[in-house]
Amino acid sequence: MHESHIIKPINKGVVHRICAGQVILDLSSAVKELVENSLDAGATSIEIALKDYGEEWFQVIDNGCGISPNNFKVLALKHHTSKLADFPDLQSLTTFGFRGEALSSLCALGNLTVETKTKNESVATHLTFDHSGLLVAERKTARQIGTTVTVKKLFSNLPVRSKEFSRNIRKEYGKLVSLLNAYALIAKGVRFVCTNTTGKNVKSVVLKTQGNGSLKDNIITVFGMNTLNCLEPVALCISDSCKVDGFLSKPGQGSGRNLGDRQYFFVNGRPVDMPKVCKLVNELYKGANSRQYPIAILNFTVPPRAYDVNVTPDKRKIFFSEESSLLQALREGFQQIYSPNNACYSVNKVE
């Protein structure tokens, strides 16, 4: 039999580190949070710089609205946000962030510094935070309007995660590039650049887009014209308030790679995991082409009240209130594209 032990509260710093490890799972979830903050700040240019594939440090540089000096002290405190004030607001959110957890979690798991300037300041400020999210140093610096967030030595104080991170660094990096592709595809009018600098100071450009105004143009920049030519535009009305649009591989012109490769799903422009939709698309495509997987880039436009994104800490999972009817409508719509009898492979276009 086990001995009975005294129940006592866990030290606050330890709780912080435990919870932070659930919000920031890996390199891509860390960078994702920073990119989403930049998008929420209205940036039209977002640069992601990695040192040694992010293992040494990574940085997200934006030209967004910047952070006002009134917010410096509370910026990286847990559950401090400028985006959500009350619980009902969750139903009408249009921002990526709302829980005020990312910066505080990054503080707990690495060394966080921020440089920022709003249009109201004549000079920028450089801020240093400790592991509990407290502002510990502040100095003036030179910078245009916007924000740069730098994270050094992510996971250095989570030994197991840190080892995994080093061991899987190339895989992590691949996942990150795929995630950045997702934002570069869906964000309209936002320029993305991602660079990686290796030990010997060799800098390579991983991703570079111009910030085009349409998904189609973004596909051309991210994947090239040849890929676009293999895709069929999709525009389906699922219901009065729900529609899906994007691109799917034409039958016989799939990517031929692995399942999930170049398959991107978005809800109101937020990249998410949609395993059931993903399964459906692959299953239907198989009927038309059993040798390859389709490229899928699909955005669901739904009212904010019709889904819940507050399901997992990384906000990749979605609960739909009408999921089964949505899947049924999709099945019917996609069947038209992948039906062997359909010569033109077109679907009902949304007017």
Which residues contact Mg ion (rule: CB under 5 A)?
37, 97, 102
Binding ligand ADP by CB under 6 A: which of 32, 99, 143, 315? 99
Instruction: Give whole-number Cα distances, 91 to 86, 139, 265, 322, in Å.
Output: 10, 39, 21, 16
Number of residues near ligand ADP (by CB under 6 A): 22
We find the least distance from the C-beta atom of residue 169 to ligand ADP, in angstroms, to be 24
68 lies in the site for ligand ADP, by CB under 6 A: no
Q: What single-letter amino acid sits at 7? A: I
Binding ligand ADP by CB under 6 A: which of 41, 48, 107, 309? 41
Q: How far apart are CA 6 and CA 220, in angstroms?
A: 62
**CB distance 17 to 6 below 8 Å:** no
Contact window for ligand ADP (CB under 6 A) among 62-70, 180-188, 241-249, 320-328: 62-70
Contact window for ligand ADP (CB under 6 A) among 1-9, 97-105, 212-220, 268-276: 97-105
Q: How far apart are CA 186 and CA 211, in angstroms?
A: 10
98 lies in the site for ligand ADP, by CB under 6 A: yes
Q: What single-letter amino acid sits at 328? A: Q
Residue closest to 45 by CA, chosen among 63, 66, 60, 26: 63
Strand-strand pairing, 319-320 and 307-308: antiparallel
176 lies in the site for ligand ADP, by CB under 6 A: no
**Residue number with CB closer to ligand ADP (85 or 160):** 85
**Residue number with CB closer to Mg ion (46 or 222):** 46
Q: Which of residues 4-33 bind ligand ADP (CB under 6 A)?
A: 33
- The option from Mg ion, ligand ADP, none interacting with 65 (CB < 5 to 8 A, set by class) reads ligand ADP
- The option from ligand ADP, Mg ion, none interacting with 38 (CB < 5 to 8 A, set by class) reads ligand ADP
We find the least distance from the C-beta atom of residue 94 to Mg ion, in angstroms, to be 14
82 lies in the site for ligand ADP, by CB under 6 A: yes
In the chain, how long is the greatest CA-to-CA distance? 72
Question: Which secondary-structure segment (H or E) carries 182?
Answer: helix 169-186
**CB distance 251 to 306 below 8 Å:** no
Question: Which secondary-structure segment (H or E) carries 34?
Answer: helix 27-40
We find the least distance from the C-beta atom of residue 333 to ligand ADP, in angstroms, to be 34
* Inter-residue long-range contacts of 188-192, CB under 8 Å, 24+ positions, other chains counted: 188/212, 188/213, 188/214, 188/215, 188/218, 189/44, 189/213, 190/39, 190/43, 190/44, 190/45, 190/46, 191/44, 191/45, 191/46, 192/46, 192/47, 192/48
- The option from Mg ion, ligand ADP, none interacting with 44 (CB < 5 to 8 A, set by class) reads none
- The option from Mg ion, ligand ADP, none interacting with 251 (CB < 5 to 8 A, set by class) reads none
Q: Across-strand partners of 147? A: 62, 116
- The option from ligand ADP, Mg ion, none interacting with 62 (CB < 5 to 8 A, set by class) reads ligand ADP
Binding ligand ADP by CB under 6 A: which of 27, 67, 248, 302? 67
Q: What single-letter amino acid sits at 312? A: T
**Residue number with CB closer to ligand ADP (55 or 101):** 101
**Residue number with CB closer to ligand ADP (67 or 284):** 67
Binding ligand ADP by CB under 6 A: which of 24, 35, 103, 151? 103
Residue closest to 64 by CA, chosen among 99, 36, 28, 93: 36
| Site residues (vs ligand ADP, CB under 6 A) | 33, 37-38, 41, 62, 64-67, 75, 81-83, 97-104, 147
